[in-house]
Amino acid sequence: MFCTLILSEKREAAERIARALDDSGTPKKLVEHGVPYFEAMQKNRQILVVPAIGHLYNIAPERGGRFYYPVFNILWKPTSQGSRETHVRNWIKAISSLSKEASEFISATDYDIEGEVIGYTILKYACGNKEANAKRMTFSTLTMIELRDAFQKLSSNIDFKLAEAGETRHIIDFLWGVNLSRALTLAVKNWGKGFAILSTGRVQAPTLRFLVDREKEIQSYVPTPYWEVHAKARIGGKFYEIEFEESKLDSEDMARKIVEACLGREGLVEDVDTRIFKQSPPTPFDIGTLQAEAYKLFGFTPSRTLTIAERLYLDALISYPRTSSQKFPPQINCREIIMSLQKSREYAAFASELLKKRDLKPNEGNRDDPAHPAIHPTGDLPEKIRDSSQLKIFDLIVKRFFAVFSSPAIKEGIRITIKVNENTFFLHGRRIISEGWLRFYEPYGQADEVILPTLEKEQKITITEVSSKEKYTAPPPRYNPASLLKMMDDEHLGTKATRANIIDTLYQRGYLREERMAVTELGFNVIETLEEYASGILSVDFTRNLEDKMETIEKGGGRKEEILIEAVQRLKTILEDLKNREEPIGEELGNAARRARVDESVVGICPVCKTGNLLIIHSMKTGKRFIGCSNFAKGLCNASFPLPQSPYTVKSLKRNCKVCRWPMVLVKSRKRQPWNLCLNPYCPTKEHQRRV
């Protein structure tokens, strides 16, 4: 019997493919070397659908130990990551063994740069050089119809250009990451007074530099005073805030004079300016805009949103989320999707209203992605979703999908100019004439109306209050995950697939803390040291240029070898600089790492002696951790408090309890939600626990 082997990226996708292709819709679930796979039957054809578990092969050094560098000789090796290693080996064994039965090979991994590399490496190394003859199955949703259609329209080859672009990216990122990280780590190790695993990379370093530059602005910010003039007007029995024409006044004297001139005076309406404007519907979601919107609305980090969106994709509820497109190509039957969504009670009314339109035209954005359309619902409805985060993202995607087909919102903006003894004030109002897309995007779109009474020119108004208020200028805000993602996108740093991970890595390495992305001392020192001794790593232009060149491979213009040579030559120069200055680099980074460790263990000022610091201490004798005062060694304070032990992890929160003002720590475990623990055993917040 003719046997076809289909490679998919994940187990859920493999099962869906097998179900779509099996004549009876009930494929057999089988196991090989502990690896689940699916057998679908079609007349005289046996189709084996085998999942992978992400990358089964990764770039690795040809030789050398953990700290060996420089590394330039590399090869693709089975992924080795601790306990995952055995798992991956079994997976490779299973795929190799099943490939022996197959006479046709199809790659059905996610159709993007990473998916193509996953398929290419498995076909080449696990299946024994089958990449040249393998076919490609491409789809953007895991619905039965699209999968069957994709199987009928197989490409005769895998996308070699995409695979080559992916391979180039893997090689460059590996060489830069491993060599630079080892150079920094070894510099500290060879300094001989400490040890710290430090990391940097081609995208990580310029991204961190942006954050450091912003942090420098904030930490060295000197506020300056300014004054605002506030006034209230009574119109038709209601009170309205009116704004002085200059929002910031430089001198208190000027503000006082304006207040004095206006107090007890009547206002006169000088002008009523009404403008009607259209607010176009939003554009369809690409992954970046979805991540930014989910952060704004629900506070989800970009990586969390991506994980949730991928789950929804595997459940065939939405299209492939790792897309840069803000367009819906004509082959997507949007009307049919809306008709399917009409079956849901929640979406029925909106869907019916849209379906009345003869022409469904989306308000598309500028960005395009040849591989996948903008993120959209498939029309399948979520029966299984129990997770509230998944429901939130699904609802957001559906409502956005509705909104993009809707009509613009029509708003009226009113600006009333009021003269009070020669001083100009404004009263602003907003009114919605037609809700348009805002209604479809509720509760995510904001109507923010300010309704004003009808006023006419020369009308007199009673001014009830005039006052001035002293304020201070504020530093620029810190980046948050959404704004950082946008900045990386604007600067061409990383790709849509890697940006969220890079942000996570900056946290894991201890370069950032808190949601508002405050740079730690270690983060500062790494960037400062690189700026001083190897500024080439931080060049945004170089990273952006390399990114653009890698994209040309995808489009068939660039050559892998040329780009690799350029990247490696640049890397060699940087590594030489680092090696020549290893001693001062090691000393500066070693000291920084030591300071960072001390800083990490400080919980706050000791509430008992008021002069020492409370520290998280690990007992050499028992191996247990507890809180102790830094004045203990001087014999001045013996305050100590117990802490939860392993498997809990404890981190300093750097803030005090709102009730008793004692320092607090953050306690985390795998199985429970993290919680904030006040160190005061008699804190009123623990009253309930004590009674229990």
Residue numbers annotated as active site: 320
Alpha-carbon distance of 203 to 487, in angstroms, equals 13
Beta carbon of residue 206, minimum distance to other proteins (angstroms, whole number): 20
Beta carbon of residue 188, minimum distance to other proteins (angstroms, whole number): 17
Alpha-carbon distance of 286 to 404, in angstroms, equals 13
Closest CA to 198 of 181, 180, 177, 179: 181
Q: Which is nearer to other proteins, 23 or 252 (CB)?
A: 252
Beta carbon of residue 475, minimum distance to other proteins (angstroms, whole number): 6
DSSP conformation class of 263: T
Alpha-carbon distance of 161 to 169, in angstroms, equals 12
Instruction: Measure the N-to-C terminal CA separation of the chain; round to a whole number of Å.
Output: 69
Beta carbon of residue 472, minimum distance to other proteins (angstroms, whole number): 5
CB under 8 Å to 45, separation ≥6 — which residues? 1, 2, 3, 4
How is residue 140 written in tokens? 């953007």
Q: Which is nearer to other proteins, 259 or 337 (CB)?
A: 259
Q: Which is nearer to other proteins, 77 or 597 (CB)?
A: 597
C-alpha dihedral sign at 334, 340, 346, 352: positive
Beta carbon of residue 474, minimum distance to other proteins (angstroms, whole number): 5
Give the CA-trace dihedral at 488, 491, 497, 503, to 10 degrees. -20
Looking at the DSSP assignment, which residues form a beta bridge with residue 665?
A: 652, 677
Whether 524 contacts 209, CB under 8 Å: no
Q: Which is nearer to other proteins, 73 or 220 (CB)?
A: 220
Q: How far is CA 252 from the centre of its chain?
A: 44
Q: Which is nearer to other proteins, 202 or 478 (CB)?
A: 478
Q: Which is nearer to other proteins, 215 or 600 (CB)?
A: 215
Q: How far is CA 10 from the centre of its chain?
A: 22
Beta carbon of residue 251, minimum distance to other proteins (angstroms, whole number): 5
Alpha-carbon distance of 685 to 692, in angstroms, equals 13
Whether 305 contacts 404, CB under 8 Å: no
Closest CA to 136 of 167, 159, 113, 112: 159
Beta carbon of residue 401, minimum distance to other proteins (angstroms, whole number): 42
Beta carbon of residue 191, minimum distance to other proteins (angstroms, whole number): 15
How many residues appear in the chain? 692
Q: Which is nearer to other proteins, 264 or 472 (CB)?
A: 472
How is residue 629 written in tokens? 């005062």
Greatest distance between any 2 Cα atoms in the chain: 97
Q: Which is nearer to other proteins, 270 or 531 (CB)?
A: 531
Whether 394 contacts 312, CB under 8 Å: yes
Whether the link from the prior residue into 362 is cis, omega within 30° of 0, is: no
Q: Which is nearer to other proteins, 581 or 668 (CB)?
A: 581
Beta carbon of residue 217, minimum distance to other proteins (angstroms, whole number): 8
| Residues making contact with other proteins (CB under 8 A) | 216, 218-226, 250-252, 472-475, 524, 528, 588
Q: Beta strand pairing status for 104-108 and 135-136?
A: parallel
Alpha-carbon distance of 307 to 298, in angstroms, equals 15
| Strand (E) or helix (H) holding 595 | helix 582-601
